[in-house]
Amino acid sequence: MPSVFTHLRSSFGRRIILLFALCIVAPGALFGYISLRQVEEKFDQETMRRMRLQSREIGMSIHGGFSSIETEVGLLAGILGDGTTPSLRRSSDWGWLFHDRPLLGATILRDGSRAEALFGNPGPLPPRTDAARRHLASSHGLLYLQRNPGGSTRLFLAHAIRGKAPERELLVCEVNPDYLWERVRNAAPPVTEIAVLSPDGAILFQTRPLPVAVFGRVEQERRKEPAGNFEWGQGSGTLLVDFSAIFLKPTFLSDDWIVVVGQSRSEAFAAARHFTWALFLSVALVVLISVLFAHVLIRRSVAPLAVLKEGTRRISGGDFDSRVEIGSGDEFEDLARSFNTMADQLGREFRTQARLIEELAQNDIGTLAALARTVDTNSHWTAGHSERVTDLAMDIGRKLGLPPYEIDRLHRGGLLHDIGKIGVPPSILDKPGKLTEEEFAVVKRHPSKGAEILDPIPNLQNIIPIVSQHHERFDGKGYPNGLSGESISLHARILAVADVVDALVSDRPYRPGWSREKVLAYTLENSGTQFDPKVVEAFHRIEAWKSVDAPAETEFTGRPLEQTIRA
């Protein structure tokens, strides 16, 4: 059963998928990315705006707390200045009156030094400046701090007693910080980290410890602007920080306090992450549906193409009876019918051409055979030699496993291997005695002469090495060029064995033919010197040469072996 993704093996299918990705997926991904970036940017702005509102709300809560405390202190100062309630001068009465109130203690300072504690611990002197005296004289509370040796900070609010000059008699109350910080906690969101800094940068309150470096950065930024925001850290530990000043000077003659609001980016953008996942899932769903839709369409287009491709492959392999069947009901079905019509026409044309080529090939081989017989009739002793050598060479080539076109080359080369003997006089070829050096030199020129004869014929160029090298020896002692080993054409090495074998078994004017047994022994004896060992081994595997004749005695007159094998 074919895979549903078989169409991806097609380059056309892959191009369609790529086009789909470029036209659908890429714009969708780009749109999703841009939308996500815009949402993140908007969410970032909204988060910073929300934190700014939170810091201002906390600052207003602290300011409102001090205003409420000032009202309490002003009421107490009025009671003390009225003088109508002497019973409240006792400390126990004051403790009952301010139980669970925003004050931890109250002290009356007279003449700038003498103190009378109404309840709680005595308070320190307020700042002695002209601005402080004017502020107290206007019936406003004066806020100031006292740093304890242990690092804690006490808050005090001074107020003029009604009807008394501030420098003669003054009420100093210690503010309960828990009252203020409870208001801060109520105003702060759960995941927000809050810190309140004094004018000198000391930490008065914080919900959870913030890194010390954050406060250093806040100190740097507040020198530029009274309010601002920044990001501190990197990665998942990034902290969003906003700070703003609490303006206390007009009402309480105190330098500005600083409210710091911090929130982890990962917590701040938790909602954005949910939106991101929802956007991602939506885009992924759209892409998945589009991919499935494209998959169906591509399969409908690629499947007919695959059928046509397979039909074309069979046609190119010579199967002209191949037909394709496509029932898509569109242009592909029309194309399939045209393809089948073309296959019919190609089949008829091919068979016609094949018959013509076969006839031409037969004529060509017949022409070569006729030419070979013409050469062999130059001497009646060599009649049929070229055709017998050719048949034996082709048998050896088949034993070596050569492909058909190489066997055909042996066929053509074998028929024409001795064509150069046209220039050798019959008197030399048929001479019964020993050849002179001049006569043997004429014989030795026939391979080169044959190559010259064939050189002008284009379709016989590939057999020229066979003709020119069939008398070369494997050990390099042959002629005409003294080639050796595998520098000699394989076809020439095959023909060398076949040529010598046929020459030895044939009767010649200068000697009778050898027995097959003696020829087999001779080829083995000269394997590796005169002949290629592989070719000799293949020759010995030919069935017709496995059963040998009985040995025959043959007399020789000491002629050189080259002249004995004069073929």
DSSP states of 407-445 as a string?
Answer: HHHHHHHHHHTTGGGGGS-HHHHT--SPPPHHHHHHHHT
Does residue 383 share a domain with residue 332?
Answer: no
Q: What is the pLDDT of residues 45-97, one digit of tens each?
A: 777 888 888 888 888 888 888 888 888 888 888 888 766 444 444 444 555 45
Scanning 192-264, the segments in alpha helix (DSSP H) are 212-222, 249-252
Does residue 424 share a domain with residue 312?
Answer: no
Does residue 167 share a domain with residue 114?
Answer: yes
> Would you state the pLDDT for residue 308?
74
Residue 156 pLDDT grade (very low, low, confident, very high; cuts 50, 70, 90): very high
Does residue 537 share a domain with residue 416?
Answer: yes
> Would you state the pLDDT for residue 494?
95
Residue 1 pLDDT grade (very low, low, confident, very high; cuts 50, 70, 90): very low
Query: 469 has which bridge partners?
Result: none
Residue 469 pLDDT grade (very low, low, confident, very high; cuts 50, 70, 90): very high
Give domain status of residue 144, yes or no: yes
For the chain, what percentages of helix, strand and coil (3-state, to nearest 5) are there?
60, 10, 30
Q: What is the DSSP string of 290-323?
A: HHHHHHHHHHHHHHHHHHHHHHHHHHHTT-TT--
Give domain status of residue 113, yes or no: yes
What's the total number of domains in the chain? 3
Does residue 396 share a domain with residue 329?
Answer: no
Does residue 433 share a domain with residue 295?
Answer: no
Does residue 495 share a domain with residue 557?
Answer: yes
Give domain status of residue 8, yes or no: no
> Would you state the pLDDT for residue 202?
87
Give domain status of residue 420, yes or no: yes
Look at residues 84, 86, 68 and name the one whose alpha carbon lies nearest to residue 173. Answer: 68
Q: What is the mean pLDDT of residues 144-154?
A: 83
Residue scoring higher pLDDT (554 or 95):
95
If you average pLDDT over every residue of the chain, what do you get? 78
Give domain status of residue 197, yes or no: no
> Would you state the pLDDT for residue 381?
55
CA–CA dist 305, 5 (Å, integer): 15
Residue scoring higher pLDDT (330 or 127):
127
> Would you state the pLDDT for residue 551?
40
Q: What is the mean pLDDT of residues 204-211?
A: 86
Taking each helix axis from N to C end, the angle separating 270-316 and 331-376, rounded to the nearest 10 degrees, works out to: 40
Give domain status of residue 34, yes or no: no
Residue numbers annotated as active site: 421
Residue scoring higher pLDDT (331 or 481):
481
Does residue 343 share a domain with residue 395?
Answer: no
Does residue 278 share a domain with residue 345?
Answer: yes
Pick the last residue of a domain from 180, 202, 233. Answer: 180
Give domain status of residue 58, yes or no: no
Does residue 291 share a domain with residue 174?
Answer: no
Q: Which domain holds residue 159?
A: 68-180
Does residue 404 share a domain with residue 306?
Answer: no
Does residue 334 share a domain with residue 430?
Answer: no
Q: What is the pLDDT of residues 352-382, one digit of tens each?
A: 655 654 555 555 666 666 666 666 565 555 6
Give domain status of residue 412, yes or no: yes
CATH number at residue 501: 1.10.3210.10
CATH number at residue 129: 3.30.450
